[in-house]
Amino acid sequence: MRAWAVRQWPVTVGLVVLLVGDVVSVRWRDVPGQWWVWPGAIALCALALAAARWPVGAGVVGGVLLVGWSSVLRLAGAQVVPELGTLLAVEVGAVAVLIVVAVRRESAVVASAAVSSLLVGGVAAQWLRVEPSAGAPIHDRLLSAALLLCVCVMAGRFLRNRDAERARATRAAVIAARERERLGLARELHEVVARHTPAGDAEAQAALRCLAATLRGGDSGEAQRVRAGADLVADLKGVTQGGGTPVMLEVELEEPVPAAVSTTVLRLVRESVANARRHAAGARRIDAKVRTGDGLIRVEVSDDGRPAAAKTSGFGLIGLRERVHLLGGEFAAGRTPEGGWLTAAELPLREPEADVP
């Protein structure tokens, strides 16, 4: 809801400005019975804001509202200022927003339902709100409406094409981040095995073969296990120390941990702590918990800060998620109800078994 409100502020400001202009214009002209138009105009503005979530539904209801409220104005004998083409400026703005959002978010066939409804509602308002002889000639008003429709449709198509280009660029960046993470995982495991096992050790070769099978999606029946204890605990303490927000580390390791899993746990904690120190504004502490149990190792890193103003690309989280999924685990990251950030992962204490075709 908060993110939706942030995205909607330009539309809200624009509609408020148009509404204030209409109020000033109506009061200056002293048109009798003009107050009847405001409920319908405000309702149409509300639909324009709701279009971000329900583009087609808001557009269809907007067309129905134009017809219904114009009928009310006709029965009440109220007149809209003719120079504005029977619709208030804020109503024209709301209709434009509804058309642009529908064309931008939906396919041409689906968006046509909203556009058609709004078009019918706008045309009906030409006859229902003022007498045919009042204001500008009817053909001039219809021509203006047609021009507005064309501009809105073209703007919606432009934004839709731009969104598609951004989505393609994001997908390409995600694929590249996953590939980098696979290669990084291979390099890191190779370094771990080389550092902790003597040359020619059969277990080291088994671990490397296991990783290669995991990365190519093949059989990974061989598993190398490293006793969870001093090495991993010492490494975790090393990555959680240093300057910045203090880290409360809790480690409970009672089961053997594979080398690939151990390396991934260390990477998860290191990057999660670094992200919290960098982006959690006002955080007083960071909690890092690593526990084993029931054949799983669970990692949780949380903070009590609030989101910083600066935005990040999110590719670091994509890399962590890919790394965890490669090992058959589950990954989640997001805002907590208290306002802080939580990164959590759960990995099996075994090498992942690939499906045999």
Quick: pLDDT tens for 316-329: 677 788 888 888 89
Distance CA 264, CA 183 (A): 13
The candidate with the shortest Cα–Cα distance to 215, out of 262, 191, 179, 190, is 179
Helix (H, G, I), strand (E, B) or coil at 240: helix
Interval 33-39 mean pLDDT: 74
Please say if the pLDDT value at position 69 is more than 70: yes
Q: According to the model, what pLDDT value does residue 262 have?
A: 84
Compute φ and ψ for 148, nearest 5 degrees: -60, -40
85 touches 39 (CB < 8 A): no
The DSSP letter of residue 90 is: H
Structure-block tokens of residue 29: 């002209």
14-17 CB contacts, 8 Å cutoff, 24+ apart: 14/93, 15/45, 15/48, 15/49, 15/90, 15/93, 15/94, 15/97
Question: Domains plus CATH for the chain?
Answer: 2-136 (no CATH), 204-348 (3.30.565.10)
Distance CA 274, CA 290 (A): 17
DSSP 3-state percent helix, strand, coil across the chain (nearest 5):
65, 10, 25
Helix (H) or strand (E) run with residue 345 in it:
strand 341-348
Distance CA 115, CA 237 (A): 60
Q: According to the model, what pLDDT value does residue 189 have?
A: 59
pTM score of the predicted model: 0.53
pLDDT tens profile 337-357: 877 889 999 999 875 454 433
Distance CA 291, CA 312 (A): 29
Please say if the pLDDT value at position 219 is more than 60: no
The candidate with the shortest Cα–Cα distance to 149, out of 89, 92, 83, 87, is 92
Number of alpha carbons in the 13 Å side-chain half-sphere of residue 190: 7
Q: According to the model, what pLDDT value does residue 153 have?
A: 92
Please indicate whether residue 166 or residue 2 has the higher confidence score (pLDDT). Answer: 166
The DSSP letter of residue 34 is: G
